Amino acid sequence: MWIYEKKLQHPICVSCPDVAFAKLVITQYGGPNGELSASLQYLNQRYSMPTNMAKAVLTDIGTEELAHQEMIASLVYKLTCGAGPKEFEKAGWSAKWAQNGPGMFWMDANGVPWIANNVSCVGEPIADLTSNMAAEQRARVTYEHLISQTCDPLVKDMLRFLWQREVVHLQRFGEALNDVEEWMAKCKRVWTGVEQQEETKEQ
């Protein structure tokens, strides 16, 4: 069960509206490497983790990614505040206005809607944790690209905060991977999702 604290994890401020940049940054809302994909992936994977530490890390980070999704949505809203169909057309985002108006929708920078295939889970802890580490790296790089595409110092500050959190998440997943590997070594078995019997005891 979650306790929702009704404030953003980091202040969201913009110097002025910028629909063109909103079209880019929305990829972190509903793109393949965005916050929605990350939060659902991590909260889904926790059930098949063999250690309490790994479960806790996935729960913690998955929950924080929900907060980051809220931050990106707030940023897009402020970047498009007061904009109408003409401003969206000028930014090359007429399709967004036609389908959603000023409302939010999960899509990438090309307008491709979010799909469940963006989420990875195979139920094998080593594969899932290493996949998560790669996901954090992809998200970090995406934030670097976005930071380079805006001149707004206030937006840059907020994006740098999210960039830093991706780095921390990468480190936490590395710790969880070490924990799972130590658990496997103590159990003297290769993880396959079920209890394994040592063949030597049967011979």
Can you say which residues are annotated as belonging to the binding site for Mn(2+)?
Answer: 35, 65, 68, 136, 169
Query: What is the rounded CA–CA span in Å between residue 139 and residue 135?
Result: 6
The single-letter DSSP state of residue 7 is S
3-state secondary structure of 107: strand
Type and span of the H or E element at 143? helix 125-147
Query: What is the rounded CA–CA span in Å between residue 13 and residue 179?
Result: 39
Annotated binding-site members for Ca(2+):
60
Query: What is the rounded CA–CA span in Å between residue 51 and residue 125?
Result: 10
Beta bridge partners of 107: 113
Annotated binding-site members:
35, 60, 65, 68, 136, 169
Query: What is the rounded CA–CA span in Å between residue 178 and residue 134?
Result: 16
Query: What is the rounded CA–CA span in Å between residue 147 and residue 90?
Result: 22
Do 95 and 103 form a contact (C-beta atoms < 8 A)?
no
